[in-house]
Amino acid sequence: MQYSSEAASNGGIKYTLSGQLSAQHHPIFRVLLKELEAATFSHCTLNLAQLEFIDSGGLGMLLLANDMCKKRGSILVLQGATGNVLKILTLSQFQKIMTMID
C-alpha cells in the first residue's frame, strides 16, 4: 500500500490509498494512523479509488481509523471504492458503519 495526503475543503484532510490494504500492510497504515492522530481536521476522507485489494486485516484498519475520527468528534468518509474493494466493503456492510461516497 502507498498513500498520500492533502488538505481538503472545509478543514478536512484527504488520504489517497493505492495498491493493496491487507494484513501485510499494517505497518504502513499504522504510520498513517499516527499522522492522523497528530493532525487537525474537521473530517477525514480516504480515497480508495486506486485501491485494488482489501482483506479483513485492511477492513480492521479502516475501522480503527473510523474509531479514531469518532473519538475526536470527526467523521471518516470512504470515497471512490470500486470493483472487488467495493464488493468486500459492501459484503461487510461498511455502508452501515461509515459514510461511503462515489
Partner 1 sequence: MYLSPQEAGMWEARLPTEKIIREPIAALLVEEMQQFIRFSEEMRFKIEFCLQEGLQNAVVHGNLEVTMPLLSLEDFEHAQNIIEHRLTIPLFNQRQVQVVCRLFSESLELNIKDEGKGFSIAEKQKETLFGRGFMLMTELSDGFSYCQKTTTLQILFKKLS
The residue ranges that bind partner 1 (CB under 8 A) are: 20, 22-24, 26, 30, 33, 53, 55-57, 59-60, 63-64, 67-68, 84, 88, 91-92
The conformational region for residue 52 under phi > 0 = left, psi -120 to 50 = alpha, else beta, is alpha
Least CB distance to partner 1 at residue 6 (A): 24
Identify whether the C-beta of residue 91 lies closer than 8 Å to the C-beta of residue 54.
Answer: no
Least CB distance to partner 1 at residue 37 (A): 9
Nearer to partner 1, 7 or 90 (CB): 90
Nearer to partner 1, 10 or 27 (CB): 27
Q: DSSP for 31-48?
A: HHHHHHHH---SEEEEEE
Nearer to partner 1, 11 or 60 (CB): 60
Nearer to partner 1, 8 or 68 (CB): 68
Least CB distance to partner 1 at residue 41 (A): 17
CA 20 to chain centroid? 12
| Grid cell listed for 38 | 497528530
Identify whether the C-beta of residue 22 lies closer than 8 Å to the C-beta of residue 51.
Answer: no
